[in-house]
A and B are shown apart, each in its own frame.
Chain A
């Protein structure tokens, strides 16, 4: 089946996005992304070997995190969030995601 030539990206834990994809897709700046990693709010899966890319922050992230990163990016844009608020929001969003996942699992077992 032809996919109408669109490039399809799975946004989940089984797939990776690179730091540059994350920046491009979320609208965050490189400084903001670095801060999120530095603050421990965002955990890279791994670092791409320097031979593959020349970028200093050649991290790879779970495709799943793009959803939350886009949300904090929108909140930053619409509420002028400071970097601290950005990282705290991301941590809380991840906690909500985990709880929702657990709740969904419990409900479907019922």
Chain B
């Protein structure tokens, strides 16, 4: 087990009063609490701070922690023989556990002994996982492999961190930012306590073609000048295979063409729509003949798309 200096984490001396410890904790909590901090390392940092405070704010735990002695942070150590936290018939495999697991358990046993003369049920911890899935997976529904480690008791009553691996079904109909709850899939409860829950935050991996607007999808549809002018029927990809889309004559850039029911599925069997956003694109390297024809168009056309500027255009070239 690696030593963690809880006093150092909170930035207080080993002789700090409980008020000083509380003040130091609150200051750091404001800075690093994952619900308010924008620091990406905030969550890990706050876990340390919370762990340090949970032990040092409780006089009995603090005394037990002090009895572990002072070691450099990160150094491997074992609690001394007859350490108060290891009494009560519970045995540990000290190599596999974390200092925080030791103190979390310390509370459980102590309170259990006081109230029931036995072990108090300890509910399993809740976990949150962010899952990124592709639009294709969101469209069809998918199974994802979930992996994380949780502290657990084995058959010998030893506390260990174990890998938690299972498959979870992400049903059709999820949206970007969707939260799902898998009951009982968090950390295992101990002494008859309920298992914790697992919260999944679903995000969509950015797609090279489609953008997401709730259950609707948008795709940029590049068209040539002549397709936009004359109209055309073109093939457009969807998440369920390509479709033929009729582009009416006289389409301008930015115009949205709706392809009904080709968006993402909703929870009620319905689908969002796919919108093809017209973008007129000119050839990057036109042939001489194309240039010649364009010049002809320029000469014979009286079309002025800038008439609303209200400017005299007789000298424009």
Contacts and interface: CB of A to CB of B under 8 A. Distances in A.
Given A25-B181, A79-B26, A8 B171 contact: yes
Contacts of B36: 75
A101 B312 CA distance: 46
A7 B194 CA distance: 14
B29 A4 contact: no
B130 interface: no
A12 B179 contact: yes
B214 interface: yes
A66 B212 CA distance: 25
A28 interface: no
Contact of B33 (A1, A2, A11, A75): A75
Contacts of A51: none
Interface string B161-173: 0000011110100
Interface residues of A, number: 24
B143 A1 contact: yes
Interface in B193-217: 197-199, 211-214
B181 A75 contact: no
Interface stretch (B60-68, B98-106, B182-190, B221-229): B182-190
Interface stretch (A30-38, A42-50, A53-61, A102-110): A102-110
Interface residues on B, range: 20 to 34
Given A25-B181, A108-B218, A8 B169 contact: yes
B213 A6 contact: no
Interface string A1-26: 11110111111101000000000010
A78 B171 contact: no
Interface in B115-167: 141, 143, 166-167
B171 A6 contact: no
B213 A109 contact: yes
B212 A78 contact: no
A108 B217 CA distance: 9
A75 B175 CA distance: 27
Interface of A: 1-4, 6-12, 14, 25, 66-67, 71, 74-75, 78-79, 104-105, 108-109
14 contacts: A6-B168, A6-B182, A8-B169, A9-B183, A10-B267, A11-B180, A11-B181, A12-B178, A12-B179, A75-B33, A75-B36, A78-B29, A104-B177, A105-B213
The 4 A-B pairs with the shortest beta carbon distances in the complex, nearest first, are A11-B179, A108-B213, A7-B183, A9-B181
